[in-house]
Amino acid sequence: MVKLTERQSDALSELINIAFARTGAALSELTGHRVLLNPPEVAVYQTIELRPALAKFVPGDVASIHQVFAGPVAGDALLLLNYDGAVHLTDLLTDGHNPSAYLDESAREVLTEVGNILLNACLGMFGNLLNVHVTFSVPRLHLETLDELLASLTEGKTELHYAVVVYTAFQLRDSSVKGFLVIVLSVASLDRLIQEVDAWEAQQSR
Amino acid sequence: MTSRSKGFGEAPEPMKETSSKATLLNAAVLHWMHDLAAQGIVTTDNELNVVEWNHWMEEHTGKRANEVIGKNLLELFPELAERRLDRNYKWALEGQVRVLSQALHGYLIEMPAVSGEYGQASMQQAVRISPLSHADRVIGTLTIIDDVTERVAREAELQAQVEDRSRLLSSEKLARSEAERANRLKDEFLATISHELRNPLNAILGWAHMMRVGNLTPANAERAVETIYRNAKSQAQLVADLLDVSRIISGKLRLDVRTIDFIPIVNAAIDSVRPAVDAKGIRLHTILDPAAGPIYGDADRLQQIVWNLLTNAVKFTPTGGRIQVKVQRLDSHIEIVVSDSGVGISEEFLPYVFDRFRQADASYTRVHGGLGLGLSIVRQLVGLHGGTVSVHSEGEGKGATFTITLPLVGLISNEGEADSVQQPPNDEILSFDGLPSLEGVKVLVVDDEADTRELIREVLKGCGSEVITSCSATEALEALEQHKPDILITDLGMPGEDGYSLIEKIRSLPPDRGGDIPAAALTAYARAEDRMRVLRSGFQFHLPKPVDSAELVTVVASLAGRAYKT
């Protein structure tokens, strides 16, 4: 795990929390239910360390909403939910219109939209912070094992990559669904992000 | 000519060819998207003015491309802003890709569903809105609309099927558990019936065997005949009850209906249970309204009804208890109330009192015999007479009250008759040739039924054994201490403490107090699982009732380590 200083970690959490608040508000409006995202817990890992870090939270199949972003800062952004969590979240968001134990096409679409809102909020916030224009791919939903997912993230990447892992939970209708936001970046992109976080933090405390 | 156009103009031949091919291809792609795509495709510039409106859009919205091109999308469709969907275009212009799911939005632009067969008036849509960028700048937006109406309908159908299936599954489960319950009741009933039929058979066969051997004194021979007669009669009653139930179930029960006076019928029933009432020292109080009036019914069956209720009351009322029979006229009905100060009925069992094959106590330790058919027969017969029967009890130990109402008519009377008495057993000595001698073997026989106890005593005494008898587990434990018997023969189903509990207690005793006494279990419950349970609980042998004298002697000899006489 890459050690962020306490100040860096706090600043990054605060920035992501702003994006989360926006996501919560958007989902609340969309569903007519109050949706909150728990204050994020942020950690940075090398991609090869991701497996042990995530395995205990997502033991079975993983539902991931994946968007590739490109530009001066490039990488992969994902929202990860375990399968049951994905089913539960869809059920909560659609007022139980999908009370089955599996994800049909409509349920997958809902998850894709939710992931899209969250990833856009976070990446948009990073883009503004870094003052760079980032372009996004169309979001895709995958259902696979954690190993398959991690293999697809590291495939074809020879240089060292890092992952900003943000742990949170969606709170709605007296229920809670745990999830992870994972942003995979190159060393250079991560360095640049941390520099900007430092600058933002300095500006805030001025 | 600008340098740029000149540059293009001066391109080498192959490149020029490729480039013009690519241009042609791009044009073809655009053409395909416009004319042939099975999705709605809309592009706008960065001010959201429509640039492309494909044929699919024309077909489904009814708006021709030339009506919309150049016009602002949000002005063309003001409901986009009303539904706050315009923000998605704002975000697209900021470079974000937006996904709009059918489940959360229904549709982006309202269009009629292609056909009404999916139960949707509006086409259900899944939408992607993407920025179109050039050189790091967003220059427009691209909207792609998929018609998912059919998919949504299919998913709903699947969902309904899944729900149906799970409903079906749970109702199937319910039916299965109901069938299992009925099956269990039937098993319990069979075990009970085997017990109830074997018990009298035991005495009948035993005494008959002794009569055949022929060394009974005249007095004991008379006792033997009485015992056989009494037990055969009780068996006949069981069989009659069973036949009644069978007739009722198959709808073959015929009533010999006449106008009859009810009071004499009640009196006849009372007379028939009087000996049993007297034997138990029960006080029987009757309040019979002579003006109760004639009813229309089958005299024999009506007497059977009253007799069943009375024998039930006698059975469940302890010595010194009280039974009251009251007959009175109530409007157009006659009411018969039989109340007792007996064991009462628990609240849980109350709803099942009139069920066939149901007894509150189906355990081995049950105190009261019978098949649990009497009250079921009462209900059926009362029903056939157009009446009702109900039961009331304040709970266990608080007595029970049965109330029957029967409709009144006519003015002629009729009577029936009754039976049933209990008598004490007797003693006798006999011997068996060819069987092992049990000389000097002290046997403790435990059974709550005097007839069986006496029979076994006679058989074993006949082979020279010394026999001590006990009628309960408690008495047996005392006898074990006092008489130090060599062998134990015990019944399993006894009131209070049963044979299993007795052997458990004995096996926990040290050897010098009889803890390892060889033991055989005697029972009318003769199923395989009963035998297994017997052997597991510390008995060496299982003797099914009715017991065969030779088998009994052989088992005792074997337990005592004796061989056959040569």
Asked if B152 lies within 8 A of A136 by C-beta distance, the reply is: no
Confidence of residue B426 (pLDDT cuts 50, 70, 90): very low
- Comparing CB atoms, the residue among B94, B97, B133 nearest residue A139 is B97
* Residue B378 contacts residue B354 (beta carbons within 8 Å): yes
Model pLDDT, residue B372: 67
Q: What is the mean pLDDT of chain B?
A: 81
Between B117 and A155, whose confidence is greater?
A: A155
Residue in the block written with tokens 């970690």: A9
Range with the lowest mean pLDDT among B28-42, B305-319, B344-358? B344-358
Residues of A in Cβ contact (< 8 Å) with B147: none
Q: How far apart are CA B133 and CA A13, in angstroms?
A: 31
Comparing CA positions, the residue from B61, B127, B70 lying closest to residue B99 is B127
* Residue A65 contacts residue A114 (beta carbons within 8 Å): yes
Question: B155 at the A interface (CB within 8 A)?
Answer: yes
Q: What is the pTM of this model?
A: 0.52
Q: What is the mean pLDDT of chain A?
A: 83
* Chain B nearest CA to A49, separation (Å): 30
CA angle B296, B301, B306 (to 5 degrees): 100
Question: Directed axis angle between helix B149-213 and helix B218-250, to 10°?
Answer: 160
Model pLDDT, residue B517: 92
Residues of B in Cβ contact (< 8 Å) with A138: 97, 99, 128, 130
Share of chain A above pLDDT 90, in %: 8
Question: B169 at the A interface (CB within 8 A)?
Answer: no
Confidence of residue B407 (pLDDT cuts 50, 70, 90): confident
Between B89 and B428, whose confidence is greater?
A: B89
* Residue B378 contacts residue B434 (beta carbons within 8 Å): no
* Residue B462 contacts residue B431 (beta carbons within 8 Å): yes
Model pLDDT, residue A180: 87
In terms of Cβ atoms closer than 10 Å to its own Cβ (0-12, 13-18, 19+), residue B561 is exposed
The pLDDT of B483-511, averaged and rounded, is 90
Residue B326 has pLDDT above 50, yes or no: yes
DSSP states of B160-190? HHHHHHHHHHHHHHHHHHHHHHHHHHHHHHH
CA B215 and chain centroid, separation? 53
Confidence of residue B118 (pLDDT cuts 50, 70, 90): low
**Which spans in A60-104 are helix H?**
83-93
In terms of Cβ atoms closer than 10 Å to its own Cβ (0-12, 13-18, 19+), residue A192 is middle
Model pLDDT, residue B55: 94
Residue B440 has pLDDT above 80, yes or no: yes
Q: Buried (b) or exposed (e) across B491-522, using 16+ Cβ within 10 A?
A: bbbbeebbbbbbbebbeeeeeeebeebbbbbb
What is the dihedral angle through the alpha carbons of B41, B46, B47, B52, rounded to the nearest 10 degrees?
-30
Asked if A116 lies within 8 A of B97 by C-beta distance, the reply is: yes
Residue B412 has pLDDT above 50, yes or no: no
Model pLDDT, residue B411: 34
Q: Buried (b) or exposed (e) across B379-413, using 16+ Cβ within 10 A?
A: bbbbebbebebebebeeeeebbbbbbbbebeeeee
Residues of A in Cβ contact (< 8 Å) with B133: 135
Residue in the block written with tokens 């939910």: A81
Residue B202, both tokens: 């035991």
Between A181 and A102, whose confidence is greater?
A: A181
Range with the lowest mean pLDDT among A89-98, B272-281, B464-473? A89-98
* Chain A nearest CA to B111, separation (Å): 19
Model pLDDT, residue B100: 94
Residues of B in Cβ contact (< 8 Å) with A100: 159, 162
DSSP states of B200-219? HHHHHHHHHHHHHHT---HH
First to last CA, chain B: 140
Share of chain B above pLDDT 90, in %: 26
Give per-residue pLDDT as tens, B122-150: 899 999 999 998 887 899 999 999 999 88
Helices (H) and strands (E) in chain A, counts: 6, 8
* Chain A nearest CA to B154, separation (Å): 10
Confidence of residue B15 (pLDDT cuts 50, 70, 90): low
Model pLDDT, residue B4: 35
Window B:24-63, CB contacts with A under 8 Å: none
Give per-residue pLDDT as tens, A38-82: 888 888 888 888 888 787 777 778 889 999 888 878 888 999 988
Confidence of residue A203 (pLDDT cuts 50, 70, 90): confident
Q: How large is the ipTM?
A: 0.83
Model pLDDT, residue B6: 36
* Sign of the dihedral defined by the CA atoms of residues B436, B439, B442, B447, in that order: positive
* Chain A nearest CA to B59, separation (Å): 25
Q: What residues in chain A have their Cβ under 8 A from chain B's Cβ atoms?
A: 29-31, 67, 71, 90, 93-94, 97-100, 104-107, 109-110, 112-113, 116, 120, 124, 127, 133-139
Window B:74-113, CB contacts with A under 8 Å: 84, 91, 94-104
Confidence of residue B14 (pLDDT cuts 50, 70, 90): low
* Sign of the dihedral defined by the CA atoms of residues B503, B507, B510, B516, in that order: positive
The Cα-based distances of B141 to A135, A137, B135, B144, B200 in angstroms read: 13, 14, 15, 10, 97
Model pLDDT, residue A98: 55
Q: How far apart are CA B203 and CA A39, in angstroms?
A: 84
The pLDDT of A31-37, averaged and rounded, is 83
The Cα-based distances of B430 to A111, A188, B44, B464, B559 in angstroms read: 91, 111, 117, 10, 21
Asked if A29 lies within 8 A of B84 by C-beta distance, the reply is: yes
Q: How far apart are CA B210 and CA B217, in angstroms?
A: 11
Residues of B in Cβ contact (< 8 Å) with A124: 94, 96
* Chain A nearest CA to B172, separation (Å): 20
Question: B157 at the A interface (CB within 8 A)?
Answer: no
* Chain B nearest CA to A60, separation (Å): 23
Asked if A98 lies within 8 A of B98 by C-beta distance, the reply is: no
Q: How crowded is the C-beta side of B409, counted as CA atoms within 13 Å? A: 11
Residues of B in Cβ contact (< 8 Å) with A67: 97
Confidence of residue B370 (pLDDT cuts 50, 70, 90): low
Give per-residue pLDDT as tens, B250-264: 666 777 777 888 888
CA B404 and chain centroid, separation? 29
* Residue B95 contacts residue A71 (beta carbons within 8 Å): no
Asked if B96 lies within 8 A of A67 by C-beta distance, the reply is: no
Q: How crowded is the C-beta side of B210, counted as CA atoms within 13 Å? A: 32
- Comparing CB atoms, the residue among A30, A107, A120 nearest residue B96 is A120
Residue B216, both tokens: 């009974």
Question: B346 at the A interface (CB within 8 A)?
Answer: no
Q: How crowded is the C-beta side of A178, counted as CA atoms within 13 Å? A: 9
Comparing CA positions, the residue from A85, A112, A77, A113 lying closest to residue A101 is A85
CB atoms within 10 A of CB B30: 14
* Residue A162 contacts residue A3 (beta carbons within 8 Å): no
